[in-house]
Structure 1
Amino acid sequence: MTERDGRAGAEPEPDIDDVIEDLEALEELVDRPEERERVREAMQTARRADRRRVVGRIRDAFDLRDAGEAAVGAFLFGIPMVVEGGTTEIGLAIAGSPVAVALTGAIGLVFVLGILHAARFEAVEADLLAGVVPRRLIGILAVSGGMAVGLMTLWRRVDWSQPEVAAAQCLVTAVVMGVGASLGDVLPE
């Protein structure tokens, strides 16, 4: 059995430690100081490459797995917003002001974009709708917005007989869920 995966006879997948071991062995074999220095530089690069990032790398496409990760993040961040009374109070307070509603939505969008920017989502060109809008951004906003409206309605936290107020209350929840959804999508596994 192998140490890494526990399967008998299975060859373990090489990792960065294997690369560093090979480079250390190579360092012993080279005889010129400039060659030894190049090997040491390669070892330093390998060690830096092994550092885990707090924010993960984004794959080319926003798929079902990404949507699931976003849903988990949105749920974890959003549950306190759904069950606390402050959310409905804030929604009621901003419902009469289109400026306050727009600013609330803009703040949420800026937070989501900031988190995605930290993961370099803008570098993924294959993930654009109509060549302009990032599919990942749309997916995260749809997951968080849909979950906010769905849970707030299902658990009767909003009264749709007053659609302005209900929409504002759902927006407040969706802002927090958007932050959770974007973090859920980009954090490493």
Structure 2
Amino acid sequence: MTARSCRRWAAGLALLSAAGCGYSTQSLLPSNYRKIYIEPFVNRLAITQESTEIQRFATSLPRIEEDVTNEVIERFIFDGHLRVTPNRQEADLILSGELVDFHRQALRLNDQGTVEEYRLNLVANLALRDPKGGELVWEEAGFIGDTTYFLSGTSSRTESSAVQALLTDFAKRVVERTIENW
């Protein structure tokens, strides 16, 4: 094979490879959806319920619904595909959610039986509506955000920083579900 034919072959392969790439920074949202209104999340956490085997460390955080609402708004602003509007009447989409579960689960114990790693879970029921047509765009019960954290070692962090990571993960998943599910 000559050098000239090798270059042609390589150029052809490069063109075929580039043609197969489907990466895009554009949203999959329909073009009529430009603005979103985020309703304040409702706190339906049952803080007085008994612990079960599955939910051994049920817990609650004061004003978590406000933190979740703010984090979701910030994530939509950061994403930029939909403009967050404070006016419900201007919105093309309305996101509503209720927090139904927040718990801490022990993941790893050391030799003495002390917890070394926890998982935090935040569970919500979400709905996205088109107010102009009155239709439900999507609804998801049991939507989960989670994070893990170590209590000691080089990867250790406080529970409050883990809660912030949990809120960020939850908000990121909400935005992904809204933007990418078309």
TM-score (norm 1): 0.30
More helix by share: 1
TM-score (norm 2): 0.31
Considering only CA atoms, is the larger Rg found in Structure 1 or Structure 2? Answer: 1
More strand by share: 2
Structure having greater relative contact order (Cα 8 Å, sep ≥ 6): 1
